[in-house]
Amino acid sequence: MNRSPYEVLGVSKDATPDEIKKAYRKKARENHPDLNPDDPHAEERMNEVNEAYDRLMNPEKYAASDHRRAQAQQASDPFSAAGGASWTAQTYTWDDIFGGGFSYGAADPRSIHPEPSAEDTPEMRTAIDAINAARYPQAVAVLDGVRRRDRTARWYYLAALANYGAGNTMLAFEQIKRAVQMDPGNDDYRWALGAFEQPTRQYQQQAAQRGFNPSAASWAELCVGLTVCNVAANFCISATGAHGFALCL
Amino acid sequence: MFGFATVNIPDLSEDEKLRYRAVYCGLCHELSRRSGQASRLSVNHDLVFCALVRLSLYEPEEVRRTGRCAVHPASERAYIQNDEIAYAADMTIALMHGKCADDWNDDGSIPARVYGRVLRRPYEAVRERWPRQCTALEQGLARIDGLERQAAVGRDVGPDEAARAFGAIMAEVMVREEDFWAEGLRRFGFELGRAVYLIDAAVDRADDERTGSYNPFSASGLDAADMRAVVGDCLARTADAFERLPLVHDAHLMRSALYAGMWARVNDALADGEGQRAGTPSAQMKASPCMADAVARGPVAKGAAS
């Protein structure tokens, strides 16, 4: 793809995610093969529109392949890359495109890169390398091999980062709390614990920016209304708790 | 089965309330059409939410109808019909059938057994239509069942496994056919499934501890603030996956569930640590002949309740 995704979608480079979504919908309607049965190029254009959207919204997905392609391009023609004409010659992340404000991932535990220290065992060093290379399942496997009695506060800290990255968030949460309990004076552990709470804070900020107030919201205000209804009697249970969840007749 | 992907009513405009109800009633009609009145009890907000996402993503044509139903015999209501609603109905039957089998196996629940039998034939038809989804569902529920059994005899099963297994089910449910959006839908479905499982676990924690049932939070030693952070992390991932899909139509309506309604359920479950207001799954089932009314009418003062 030589045209930039912004050109394909017809939006400016400072478009917000919602503007990009609207532009995508417009282009998708214009180019959808089902809506253009007589146009042999519609499918090709639709694929281009899909990929343009995906490049902007899931840039991480394309980072690795773009990097390889850029390297190959540079190797075959060392003079071409200098101008940076092709969009694919550079790699972008969501943050590059939209800034940190739209992303949840900016400050979560995956952004922590532990450094090896002199006292680290070989297993811990291997785990640290794996964590820093985002090979989280490998880091988990290595750390799980450490005997229980050898599990120090630092082990819990690394295991927390590894498990968070591997998607075991609840276990990771237990482990980071354990690390802080075992060594409350360690700034790294306390910092990491703060990072574990960050996604929730960012989620709440997102909600507020979008005009929602999740702490005031209450699903319990739901009132299950039944109008004139023969079956009502069968279902007429009312579990009224402190906030009330009741059938209204 | 009541569902946890609930919208937050005060956020919605009148049009949005009617839209939600049209999808909800569409799903309910479709359920009764294919498997009789009884399967209407299966309608739940999670599948309505899944249907809204898929309708918004694919923008298929919607047939608008009005009609009466057993729950509302007096008035005609608008609802929609199309392939996506039919798909959501199929998935509702599959999930409910799996849940009934599970409740019967775990608790010897007689209503679950009876209802499971009612759903058996409809489920067989669904299984024929959607083998990938149903295989994933059966494997996922078997995995959760296995984890519960292991935990019951004191084995450390890891607190995240069951939620991930339910996430894997919802990932497949979100994908009707393999296409360009399948990857994004799976990612969203996985996180939504995990979120639903975790919120359910937070709501049921006190009950589960009383009855000795498996609950991932019980073994973890996490307090209410930690649980909030764990579920919040999961909802953040769900919202992130949602925001990467090109969803414009009904976006505000869906975000009301994602950013307010679901979080309210978390707060509600953790507010007093009791977590019993939502009741047992069977109580929820009985309480939900038509949850669409709640959305269409909006909040009603507590005193108005019978």
pLDDT at residue A232 in the model: 29
The tokens describing B100, both together, are 């009934």
SS3 A124: helix
Confidence of residue A236 (pLDDT cuts 50, 70, 90): very low
Cβ of A229 within 8 Å of Cβ of B261? The answer is no
Give the whole-angstrom CA distance, residue B163 versus residue B144.
8
Give the whole-angstrom CA distance, residue A236 versus residue A246.
9
Min Cα–Cα distance to chain B from A83, Å: 31
Give the whole-angstrom CA distance, residue B10 versus residue A217.
8
Sign (positive or negative) of CA dihedral A82, A85, A88, A94 = positive
Nearest to B291 among A170, A174, A224 (CB): A224
Q: What is the pLDDT of residues A172-221, one digit of tens each?
A: 999 999 999 999 999 999 999 999 999 999 999 999 999 997 666 554 33
* Total H helices, total E strands in chain B: 14, 2
Give the whole-angstrom CA distance, residue B247 versus residue B178.
18
Q: Higher pLDDT residue, A4 or B297? A: A4
Beta pairing class for B63-67 and A224-225: unpaired
A-interface mutation test, from B240, B252, B270, most A Cβ less than 10 A away? B240
Contact of B35 with B93, CB cutoff 8 Å: yes
A127, pLDDT greater than 50: yes
Sign (positive or negative) of CA dihedral A38, A39, A44, A46 = negative
Give the whole-angstrom CA distance, residue B10 versus residue B18.
14
Share of chain B above pLDDT 70, in %: 88
Cβ of A224 within 8 Å of Cβ of B229? The answer is no
The three-point CA angle B76-B79-B83 to 5° equals: 150
Contact residues on chain B for A108, CB-CB shorter than 8 A: 233
Range scoring the smallest mean pLDDT among A129-143, B2-16, B125-139: B2-16
Cβ of A245 within 8 Å of Cβ of B232? The answer is no
Average pLDDT over residues B136-144: 95
pLDDT at residue A230 in the model: 26
pLDDT at residue A83 in the model: 42
For residue B80, how far is the Cα from the chain centroid?
20
B-interface mutation test, from A102, A202, A212, most B Cβ less than 10 A away? A212
Give the whole-angstrom CA distance, residue B172 versus residue A247.
34
Confidence of residue B126 (pLDDT cuts 50, 70, 90): very high
Q: Which residues are bridge partners to B65 per DSSP? A: B79
The secondary structure of chain A in percent helix, strand, coil, rounded to multiples of 5, reads: 60, 0, 40
Confidence of residue B46 (pLDDT cuts 50, 70, 90): very high
Q: Is the ipTM of this complex over 0.95?
A: no
State pTM to two decimals. 0.85
Min Cα–Cα distance to chain B from A43, Å: 12
Q: Where are the alpha helices (DSSP H) in A10-135?
A: 17-31, 42-57, 59-76, 94-98, 122-132
Cβ of B240 within 8 Å of Cβ of A217? The answer is no
Chain B, nearest residue to A225 by Cα = B293
pLDDT at residue A60 in the model: 83
What separation, in Å, do the N-terminal and C-terminal C-alpha atoms of chain B show?
23
Q: What is the pLDDT of residues A132-178, one digit of tens each?
A: 999 999 999 999 999 999 999 999 999 999 999 999 999 999 999 99
pLDDT at residue B71 in the model: 73
pLDDT at residue A249 in the model: 19
pLDDT at residue B295 in the model: 56
Min Cα–Cα distance to chain B from A118, Å: 31
pLDDT at residue A226 in the model: 28
Report the length, in residues, of chain B.
306
Chain A, nearest residue to B216 by Cα = A170
Report the length, in residues, of chain A.
249
Contact residues on chain A for B237, CB-CB shorter than 8 A: 104, 199
B128, pLDDT greater than 90: yes
From A104, A25, A209, select the one nearest B243 (Cα to Cα): A104
Kindly state the helix (H) or strand (E) to which residue B66 belongs, with its residue range.
strand B63-67
Chain B, nearest residue to A198 by Cα = B233
Q: CA of A16: how far to CAs of A12, A23, A94, B267, in Å?
A: 9, 11, 12, 31
Contact residues on chain A for B286, CB-CB shorter than 8 A: 234-235, 237
Contact of A143 with A174, CB cutoff 8 Å: no
pLDDT at residue A81 in the model: 44
Min Cα–Cα distance to chain A from B59, Å: 10
Give the whole-angstrom CA distance, residue A163 versus residue A143.
10
Average pLDDT over residues A47-60: 93
Contact of A143 with A161, CB cutoff 8 Å: no
Give B217: exposed, middle or buried? Use CB within 10 Å, 0-12, 13-18, 19+. buried
Range scoring the smallest mean pLDDT among A60-69, B65-74, B274-283: B274-283
Give the whole-angstrom CA distance, residue A240 versus residue A243.
7
Q: Which residues are bridge partners to B81 per DSSP? A: B63
Min Cα–Cα distance to chain B from A249, Å: 6
Confidence of residue A105 (pLDDT cuts 50, 70, 90): very low
Q: What is the CATH number of domain B9-289?
A: 1.10.600.10
Query: Which residue type sits at A184?
Result: P
Cβ of B268 within 8 Å of Cβ of A202? The answer is no
Contact of A192 with A157, CB cutoff 8 Å: yes
The three-point CA angle A239-A243-A244 to 5° equals: 35
pLDDT at residue A200 in the model: 92
Q: How many CB pairs under 8 A join A and B?
A: 216
B303, pLDDT greater than 50: no
Confidence of residue A234 (pLDDT cuts 50, 70, 90): very low
Cβ of A225 within 8 Å of Cβ of B229? The answer is no
Contact residues on chain A for B159, CB-CB shorter than 8 A: 168, 170-171, 174
Confidence of residue A231 (pLDDT cuts 50, 70, 90): very low
Q: CA of A69: how far to CAs of A6, A49, A54, A108, B226, in Å?
A: 20, 21, 18, 30, 44
Average predicted confidence (pLDDT) for chain A: 78
The tokens describing A132, both together, are 């820093």
